[in-house]
Structure 1
Amino acid sequence: MVEHDALAATRDAYDAAATTYAQLFSDSLRDSPLDRAILGVFAEAVSAGGGGRVADLGCGPGHVTAYLDGLGLAAFGVDASPAMIELARQAYPGLRFDVGTMEASGIGDGALGGVLSRWSVIHTPPEELPAVLAEFHRVLAPGGHLLIGFSASDDPSHPTQVFDHAVAPAYRWWPDHLATLLRGSGLAEVARAVREPQPTDRRQFKEIHLLARKN
């Protein structure tokens, strides 16, 4: 199956790169005030919506999960890569980290106040993304919030574009197209943040954060 092949390839690639990835990105929030601000808005939205547990889906080595915990959220991490989860458990032994996937998280219906998907859907083949968004909707409680981060396509006539990611095959999304898919899954866009590419960025893509709410 295509889904199995794509997931297995991504998992294996991140298993192989886990230690290097953690070394490169575990302190990335320290030098990114915009990312910290966006995560702060997400934390406030979850709290204002009634709180509840928050899943960091595609958590990698766990640094963002830990940051959410520091903001007062009951956050836990899920990742398809066992190597990433092992690194996260070692680095943050007081937090929960589980091996799992966005497509089949094992989380109960309506169990969460928030879902964070930060540069994890970029590895999802376009035909499979609606099912992933439906899973986000399923696990969120009414009024729960999703924050989804991704690299933006620069051509609205091609809403998804393949790009050369250092670890695994990846896709860029036209933001309005992804927002439409969110609406189709029962998640209403609340806010949008755009980070323009900087001269020091290896890839000159816009980065998009969409905040959405389950009604």
Structure 2
Amino acid sequence: MVASDVPRTRAFYQTVADAYALLVADVGFEGALELSLIADFVDQLAHGERVDIVDAGCGTGRMIGHLRSLSASVRPIGVDLSPAMLAHARAAHPDVELVEAPLQRMSLPGESADGILAWYSVIHTSPADLPEVLSEFRRVLRPGGLVLLGFQSGFGERRRSGAYGHDIELHAYLHDTAAVSSALTAARFVVEVRMDRGPRREERLPQGFVMARAV
């Protein structure tokens, strides 16, 4: 994420946090394919009494509750750069550790997590800056840990005015699944799942998903 992206992204989510919390309250936007991928991600990790999973870019915490519902052993840790979004997450999940930080500097100890879910959070990181974020993910993950990324797939930057009912412009980047996979390999991951799907009726863009294991 280039330096200018961090304050711009923070300002965007500071503005739309309340509307976002109302409009995107849970996993109702995810289809069966996405939910099965997340369930597989958790199932591969949930073999001990405690499994530390970082929700990287947790926003209002909508995925935190879902992760906990998949296994009683999951201990989520939320990371987000917007205090306003984290306030909603804290209200919904007062017992969960939440950290205010950008993805490339998550302020978490090295090799402290079993898994990282980056669910549509790297859309605010340019492809050129994605390696920095993936290196941070690798630093935080224990060897053998998993990362799962979801994003709009393709090339270029997209902008949308009036996002979430506010007079503010959304800036986001598309990511190519092959390029994401190559960047993960360079960051010392082994890619286990790489998937593209076309846009659904309510979507404008294809979607991409990559799951990789830290080595």
Whether TM exceeds 0.5 here: the answer is yes
Residue deviations 1:178-214, cap 9 Å, x none? 110110001111112333211222x2x1111111001
Q: What is the distance in 2 between the residues matched to 1:134 and 1:49?
A: 26
Equivalent position of 1:24 in the other structure: 23
Q: Do residues 176 (structure 1) and 175 (structure 2) align?
A: no
Q: Which moved more, 1:48-57 or 1:140-149?
A: 48-57
Equivalent position of 2:159 in the other structure: 164
How high is the TM-score relative to the length of structure 1? Answer: 0.89
Shift of 1:51: 6.1
Shift of 1:74: 1.1
Q: Which runs of 5+ in 1 are unaligned?
A: 154-159
Secondary structure of 1:164's counterpart equals: strand
Secondary structure of 1:212's counterpart equals: strand
Q: What is the distance in 1 between the residues matched to 2:27 and 2:53?
A: 21
Residue 189 (structure 1) aligned to one of 173, 188, 191: 191
Q: 1:66 to 1:162 in 2, by over 3 A?
A: same
Q: 1:127 to 1:63 in 2, by over 3 A?
A: same
Matches within 5 A, 1:3-18: 3-18=2-17
Secondary structure of 2:20's counterpart equals: helix
Which amino acid letter does the alignment assign opposite residue 112 of structure 2? A
Which amino acid letter does the alignment assign opposite residue 206 of structure 2? K
Q: Which moved more, 1:54-63 or 1:44-53?
A: 44-53
Equivalent position of 1:85 in the other structure: 86
Q: 1:7 to 1:181 in 2, by over 3 A?
A: same
Q: Which moved more, 1:30-39 or 1:7-16?
A: 30-39
Matches within 5 A, 1:68-147: 68-72=67-71, 73-147=74-148
Secondary structure of 1:28's counterpart equals: coil
Residue deviations 1:12-64, cap 9 Å, x none? 10110001111111133376322221110110122259963110010011010
Q: Which moved more, 1:104-113 or 1:43-52?
A: 43-52
Q: 1:172 to 1:30 in 2, by over 3 A?
A: closer
How high is the TM-score relative to the length of structure 2? Answer: 0.89
Equivalent position of 2:213 in the other structure: 213
Give the length in aligned residue pairs: 206
Q: 1:29 to 1:96 in 2, by over 3 A?
A: farther
